[in-house]
Structure 1
């Protein structure tokens, strides 16, 4: 081989430097820092093909499931890093008011944000043609999307063979159960359990008796015994408890027999009657918050953080904002730990509970690009860039040396100082709060290719270090090291969750769901708030109206879909 001359070598070096300066960092908006501990070292603003810089752009993003302040993503540390990588910022607007009204207005006007999370109204948007088909965009610009969702991409297709939205999370790597309770539970203030000597609580009767006794002993404090959430699409927090109390997981409006796989509605069952009668009795005793049927979500959260509400049923993810505020206060002042809520897996009669979710794939919720979006390619490239493993580490763990460390075995962990500083205010400013959900991402139960948990809270090293002395005291009192140990392990359910089974807009199944909610919304306040002497007649009136609905047809549809999913997973 002929030796290169110094002049030739110099010319080649200048060419290489020129290419580096103009930013040939790779495809699909590349520019991802090779080490997430040094984010932002690249200038960014690359095009999807790496050929030329792209101007920065801001897209609009509406979150119908949001419970945070409106913000630009680039106002957070994480959002700025992602903007540096892609040139893209999102202006996030969260829901205020009624979800169906908001989405209905969008559908009627044909004016949408660039990116939309319609949550429970997602079928309405698909039916109205509000989303674009993502299939070709994913094929051309989504290698990381394809890698993360894998075979589930086929399951994401609607009957017309198109993909209109990306589910919020993809199961990647190994499944790791959450040591915390992000799902359903009957929650109670810790001070109630502490004063009672940390008793065993297995049944709903025992749970309510604890609340009764505590209020009786503290009449001067103006306490609310029990509260229920009914606002907008979150009404399920009031309709779901009978299912859990009967020993079933959250399959939505049906319970599925583990032997026959028959799906049955339970809104008109004795389970629901029994639970509503308990609430009716609580109300008659002055222990139920009557405003439960008129309060909005923000008012509900405010009451939970007031220290005056002793208990409620809800899902851990739904009360997280309130619980985080209470836990931050307890870290600053351990005496405030009394007001932190503790999860209990109670049932009607102490039978095996099924509050914890088994591995699942939810395909009727997600994030989509709308027909109003001017540059769908930039948006899908942003989603794809976020699904790079290094960015998922950044999104969930943060920056090495600032929000986490790596030990000699490659295990991720957080120091006590890092755990202490990651309070709600830090989560907002850094961006953990805004990138924790509501984007295409690895599920919290996933693992990275290096074996570390995607979610820091699931990593055993972090969970144990994050426990305060008060946490350890109450867990030790119940013979547990994690909150999940208080609950029964979930049974395998290949169809789970049944509420994730799509229903076509205008189909008998979709119409049934709409009408059944209308009937329950009409009668549940009467059943709970009117005097006990009217409960039986109100229940019969409710049954008369509910039984006019074609719930048998709905059950047949759900049973067929459950059995179909079982076959698909064999």
Structure 2
């Protein structure tokens, strides 16, 4: 905990290291307009967002979307720009490997020298946090993009195990502490009518995220569903002993009706359906949004005793496992080779790592989206917290906060708009070490990337296919598991592990 505390302290005090208070952030005497390709969650960059209008006032740099407001698929927009050769000045993208491949092919400007000479804030940030810099360095040692960083040192936890506390109370059950207890609770939810409607309609475990359904179930047993690091060695979870232990248990749960029979087809609205119809008992989901159901007035009208709480993952062989953690970063932006003035652009990118840029990115404009109390603590205004028909996060997004650019998140922003219980529970997962860290970004050469894309897609399809067949009972696990291992090996698993190991070692060195 001491190490974590020091890391946290360092992250929060970084802006004081580069003393810029009351600094003039103007980059150009005359207004400069830069084109940008940037789409996030179907939302195209909008120059009229509050955050970027304020940045223009500070820097005299204005961003203008290079894509139509009607083109909301960022993959399609990126591919179209690359294939046409008509690249904007700045490219923001969720997939850094694609930006790096484009850079190694000459389509993006290497940023190393530009950062060293013209971006003191980014340079200081990288020097202070080499773990963050690792995300930015490509396989050839060059930097082609500035990542969009999560406040990873402060909060790795993203999702947790939620259980119906009102159902536990109804049946006189305690919060399960180990996997045996957890199994008994699921059985009780299935067989003892906790919703009290006289029907056997309860679904003990459900999941709305189809691609994570099996990953989270086996993950509760400490099994990895993909590649992971074991003391610096790359391993593939589904071929390891822990996976062989976990999958039979998951199969057993499904066979006994403890898992949603439609878990692979229920879809994204499954959580809402399960809770509003009072039939769902347990799920593994995002802290903030799932906690929000406890404050849902319509749901409370239907069931005044409704209570959905996050609990520690039940211990398996003496340890609790949470199979989903935040990554250190998600996408970012870089300068295309078509840009006429990379120096101006890198200075603008550096602005977002300044005191003002950091505050603007996370909190918006003082007196508009946020204010400070007598102790200087920031809080969001009623414009954000009490907007009719919208939650706080939607309002922040509508004003451009936390949009995917090269910047750094402040976890305090999430605490400011989120439910205090969500903060409490996510911090419980963080401080108690339940989190199973995601594998770090592997940095591939263009040649490696082609092989990885081919092999990985085939292996992933094989895993998803067999996992569903095992859980649904279409294939006997004991009889077909070794055949599955033979299959993924024939698809190139050994070569993929070797490539990933080289990529990992390359970044470490």
What's the TM-score once normalised by structure 1's chain length?
A: 0.65
Structure 1 window deviating more from structure 2 (435-444 vs 396-405): it is: 396-405
Max radius of gyration: which structure? 1
Q: 1:509 to 1:271 in 2, by over 3 A?
A: same
Counterpart CA distance in 1 for 2:48 and 2:394 is: 10
Q: Say whether 1:188 aligns with 2:163.
A: yes
Q: Say whether 1:329 aligns with 2:329.
A: no
Map of 1:239 onto structure 2: 215
- Per-residue CA deviation, residues 499-551 of structure 1 (Å, 9 max, x unaligned), is 323233442556543332132123222122235x7333343432231232444
Map of 1:455 onto structure 2: 412
Map of 1:526 onto structure 2: 469
1:343-354 to 2 correspondences below 5 Å: 343-353=311-321
Q: Say whether 1:226 aligns with 2:205.
A: yes
Secondary structure class of the residue paired with 1:245: coil
Q: 1:166 to 1:120 in 2, by over 3 A?
A: closer
Shift of 1:256: 0.8
1:47-446 to 2 correspondences below 5 Å: 48-49=27-28, 51-54=29-32, 59-63=36-40, 66=41, 70-85=43-58, 86-90=61-65, 110=85, 114-119=90-95, 122=98, 131-139=108-116, 141-150=118-127, 152=130, 155=134, 156-169=136-149, 177-178=154-155, 182-195=157-170, 199-216=174-191, 217=193, 218=195, 220=199, 222-228=201-207, 235=211, 238-239=214-215, 242-243=218-219, 245-246=221-222, 253-257=227-231, 261-289=232-260, 291-294=262-265, 298-299=268-269, 309-314=280-285, 316=286, 322-323=289-290, 326=293, 329=296, 338=306, 340=308, 342-353=310-321, 365-370=331-336, 380-400=346-366, 404-407=370-373, 410-414=375-379, 421=386, 425-431=391-397, 434-436=400-402, 438-444=404-410
- What CA RMSD, in Å, does the superposition of the two structures yield over aligned residues? 4.9
**Contact 2:159/2:426, CA 8 A, preserved across alignment:** no
Secondary structure class of the residue paired with 2:317: coil
1:486-497 to 2 correspondences below 5 Å: 489-490=432-433
Q: 1:290 to 1:241 in 2, by over 3 A?
A: closer
Counterpart CA distance in 1 for 2:494 and 2:117 is: 44
Secondary structure class of the residue paired with 2:139: coil
Secondary structure class of the residue paired with 1:273: helix
Secondary structure class of the residue paired with 2:55: helix
- Per-residue CA deviation, residues 354-393 of structure 1 (Å, 9 max, x unaligned), is 76969x855x843334457677666544432222212322
Map of 2:458 onto structure 1: 515
Structure 1 window deviating more from structure 2 (554-563 vs 80-89): it is: 554-563
Shift of 1:412: 1.1
**Contact 1:353/1:488, CA 8 A, preserved across alignment:** no
- Per-residue CA deviation, residues 299-355 of structure 1 (Å, 9 max, x unaligned), is 5676577565433335x3xx75x4375366269969678365525323433425476
Secondary structure class of the residue paired with 1:254: strand
**Contact 1:148/1:170, CA 8 A, preserved across alignment:** no
Secondary structure class of the residue paired with 2:186: helix
Shift of 1:166: 1.4
Counterpart CA distance in 1 for 2:470 and 2:293 is: 32
Q: 1:294 to 1:149 in 2, by over 3 A?
A: farther
**Contact 1:326/1:336, CA 8 A, preserved across alignment:** no
Counterpart CA distance in 2 for 1:407 and 1:194 is: 40
Q: 1:222 to 1:191 in 2, by over 3 A?
A: same
| Counterpart among 453, 478, 486 of residue 536 in structure 1 | 478
Q: 1:176 to 1:346 in 2, by over 3 A?
A: same
Counterpart CA distance in 2 for 1:236 and 1:201 is: 23
Counterpart CA distance in 1 for 2:122 and 2:471 is: 47
Q: 1:414 to 1:361 in 2, by over 3 A?
A: closer
Shift of 1:406: 4.0
Map of 2:4 onto structure 1: none
How many aligned positions are there?
Answer: 473
Shift of 1:266: 1.4
**Contact 1:355/1:487, CA 8 A, preserved across alignment:** no
Map of 1:21 onto structure 2: none
**Contact 1:305/1:325, CA 8 A, preserved across alignment:** no
**Contact 1:369/1:376, CA 8 A, preserved across alignment:** yes
Q: 1:222 to 1:149 in 2, by over 3 A?
A: farther
Secondary structure class of the residue paired with 1:246: coil
Counterpart CA distance in 2 for 1:428 and 1:398 is: 14
Q: 1:399 to 1:96 in 2, by over 3 A?
A: closer
Counterpart CA distance in 2 for 1:327 and 1:375 is: 51
**Contact 2:21/2:355, CA 8 A, preserved across alignment:** no
